[in-house]
Amino acid sequence: YWYGLAPVVEQVRSAIQLGEELTVRVLAGGEVAADVLAPWRVPTHGLVYAEELIDLTDLGLVEATAEEATLTLRVPADMTVWATGAWWNRAIEASGIVTVDPVVVLQDMSGGADVGDGASERLSDWIARR
């Protein structure tokens, strides 16, 4: 868990760029990825998936508790995240923020606190229409 003062979209973008420099795969998930796929709300928390733990202090972030964090770095045990993410980003010819596949993003959104703004439903409808 990490805390920073920069907007969470910038934190996610910077983590992805750092991953590229370190040759560690990093993909956006959660609210930022949902905003990339089907914009609905301004993201308040960043989530990135990484192949391994990486130190984000060079990005101006400090370690934090889960409650204080503005960015979560998740190292998934399930390797299919990388296969489906690679497929998805090729299928849409991703530019900018690369994301995990939309179903993982929906799972991220459904697993968090429901703020009652319909973001998860909007993303679900967007996936169904694809």
Most confident of 3-7, 80-84, 106-110: 3-7
**What pLDDT, on the 0 to 100 scale, is given for residue 94?**
62
Q: Return the half-sphere exposure (C-beta side, CA atoms, 13 A cut-off) of residue 66.
A: 2
Give the integer Cα–Cα distance in Å for 82 and 51.
Answer: 8
112 confidence band (pLDDT: 50, 70, 90): low
- pTM of the entire predicted model: 0.89
**What pLDDT, on the 0 to 100 scale, is given for residue 90?**
84
Residue 77 clears pLDDT 70, i.e. is over it: yes
- 3-state SS, one letter per residue, for 52-106: CCCCCHHHCCEECCCCCCCEEEECCCCCHHHHHHHHHHHHCCCCCCCECCHHHHH
Which comes out higher in pLDDT, residue 117 or 13? 13
